[in-house]
Amino acid sequence: MSDGAAKMEIARPAGGGGHGKFISTMKRVSRYRGLYLILLPGLVFFAVFSYGPMYGIIMAFKSFNMKLGIWGSPWISPFYENFRLIFINPEFTAAFGNTLIISFMKTVIGFPVPIVLAIVINELANKRFSRVIQTVYTFPHFLSWIILAGIVANLLGSDGVVNNFLTLMGGKPANFLMNAGAFRWLLVVTDIWKESGWSTIMYLATIASIDVSQYESATIDGASRWQKAMYITLPGLSMMIVILLTLAIGNSMNSNFDQIFNLYNPATFSTGDVLDTYIYRLLSKTGLGYSFMTAVGLFKGVINFVLLMSANQITKRINGTGKSIFY
C-alpha cells in the first residue's frame, strides 16, 4: 500500500522533496492529465464565482467610490473605521441581536421536534401508513418560501381563516403578520412546519442502522415499547443529535433569509430584521455607502466562518474517527 500512500500526498514544489520526487510527481500529473481536464470546469467555477468576488472584500478597508473602482479608491484611516461605524449603527446591532435570538429560538424549540417524530414513526407497525405520513411531512421542504409565505399570509391575515375563527369564538381578531412581538414565534412555527419532516427522515435513516438484535433481546427481557425507545433508539440517535445540534449552532449566523424576507414587513423589522435581510436592504439604501455594506458582510462572514469551523472541529472529535462530516 506504500504506492497508495504516496499517491495521497500533495504535489511538492521542486527542491522540497528532492529532485526524484518532483520527477515522479510530474510523471503522475501527466499520467492523470485526462482527470485534470475533467476537474478543470469545476475549478474554474469555484475560482470565478467563489473566489472572484472575494477580491471585493478590500472595500471594507477603503472608502469605496464607484468612479475610482475597487483598486483606485483610497484606503480608510484607521483601517477599522468602517467596522467602528457598523457597531455604532443601531439598525446593525438590532439585526445582529435578532439573528442570534431567532437562531437560538429555532434551535431550542424546533430541534427536538424531528427527534420525537422519528421515534414515534419508527414505532408504527403499518408500513403504508408510515410511508404516507412521511410523504406528507416532507413535501413542504421542497416548496419555496415564496409559496409558503403566501399561504401563511392567507391563513393568518386579517380576513384569514384563523382570524375568522377567533372572531366566531367571540375573540378579538389579531393581525399576526404585523405584530412585532409574535413575529419570531411565527418564524419558529413556520420553520417547524416546513423543515421538521425532512429532518425526521434523517433521524429515521439513523434508526434504521441500529442493530436489530438489541431490540430483539430487549423484547425477550420484557422491555416495554417506551423502554426500548428510551434505552435503545434514543441512545442510538445520540451521535446524530449531537452532530446536528453542533451544526445548528455553527449555523446560527445564517438565519433563513428566504423565510424572513418573504414574511416580514416594516411593522416587524424591529424583531425580525436579521443580518442577511439587513445587508440586502442596504443594497437599495446607498446612504451608508458601499464600504459600510462590505464591512457588514465581512463581519458576518468572519463570525460565520469561526462558528462553522468550531462546529466542524467539535463534530470531528465527537465522531471519534477524526473525520469531518463534510469531507
Partner 1 sequence: MAATNGYTQAAGPKPSRAFRRGAVGRKGADIPMIAMVVFLSAWALIILFPFYNAVLISFAPQRVYIRTPLLVYPIEPTLDAYRFVFKWPSLATGLRNTSFILVVGTTYNVLLTALTAYALTKPIPGRKFFRLMILFTMFFGGGLFPYYLFINSTIHLGNTIWAMILPTGISIMDLLIMQSYYETLPEEIAESARIDGAGELKTLFRIVLPMCKPMLATITLYCAVARWNEWWYGMLFERSTDNYPMMLFLRNMLAETRAVTANIPISQRELVFSKGIQMAAIIVTMAPIVCVYPFLQKYFVKGITLGGVKG
Residues of span 240-279 touching partner 1 by CB under 8 A: 244, 247, 258, 262, 279
The nearer residue to partner 1, 88 or 168, going by C-beta atoms, is 168
Q: How far apart are CA 203 and CA 236, in angstroms?
A: 10
Stretch that binds partner 1, among 83-91, 93-101, 102-110, 137-145 (CB under 8 A): 137-145
Tell me: does residue 96 bind partner 1 (CB under 8 A).
Answer: no
- Considering only 234, 267, 314, 325, the residue that binds partner 1 (CB under 8 A) is 325
- Considering only 84, 123, 171, 238, the residue that binds partner 1 (CB under 8 A) is 123
Q: How far apart are CA 307 and CA 251, in angstroms?
A: 7
- Considering only 14, 28, 87, 235, the residue that binds partner 1 (CB under 8 A) is 28
Least distance to partner 1, CB of residue 79, Å? 17
The secondary structure of the chain in percent helix, strand, coil, rounded to multiples of 5, reads 75, 0, 20
CA atoms within 13 A on the CB side of 83: 12
How many residues interact with partner 1 (rule CB under 8 A)?
A: 109
* Backbone region of residue 5 per phi and psi (left: phi > 0; alpha: psi in -120 to 50; beta: other values): alpha
Q: How far apart are CA 196 and CA 193, in angstroms?
A: 6
Tell me: does residue 225 bind partner 1 (CB under 8 A).
Answer: yes
Least distance to partner 1, CB of residue 94, Å? 18
Tell me: does residue 143 bind partner 1 (CB under 8 A).
Answer: yes
What grid cell was written down for 236? 442510538
Least distance to partner 1, CB of residue 103, Å? 16
Q: How far apart are CA 1 and CA 102, in angstroms?
A: 51
Q: How far apart are CA 128 and CA 66, in angstroms?
A: 61
Phi, psi of 174 (to 5 degrees): -125, 140
Phi, psi of 62 (to 5 degrees): -125, 170
Stretch that binds partner 1, among 79-87, 97-105, 266-274, 297-305 (CB under 8 A): 297-305
Q: How far apart are CA 294 and CA 312, in angstroms?
A: 26
Those residues whose C-beta lies under 8 Å from the C-beta of residue 12, and which sit 6 or more positions away, are 21, 22, 25
Tell me: does residue 14 bind partner 1 (CB under 8 A).
Answer: no
Tell me: does residue 89 bind partner 1 (CB under 8 A).
Answer: no
Least distance to partner 1, CB of residue 17, Å? 12
Tell me: does residue 117 bind partner 1 (CB under 8 A).
Answer: yes
Three-state helix/strand/coil letters over 45-58:
HHHHHHHHHHHHHH
Tell me: does residue 164 bind partner 1 (CB under 8 A).
Answer: yes
Least distance to partner 1, CB of residue 275, Å? 10
- Considering only 76, 95, 115, 152, the residue that binds partner 1 (CB under 8 A) is 152
Q: How far apart are CA 70 and CA 52, in angstroms?
A: 13
The nearer residue to partner 1, 4 or 181, going by C-beta atoms, is 4
Least distance to partner 1, CB of residue 56, Å? 3
Stretch that binds partner 1, among 71-79, 84-92, 128-136, 266-274 (CB under 8 A): 128-136
Least distance to partner 1, CB of residue 35, Å? 5
Least distance to partner 1, CB of residue 23, Å? 12
User: Which of 173, 177, 175, 174 lies closest to 149, judged by CA?
Assistant: 177
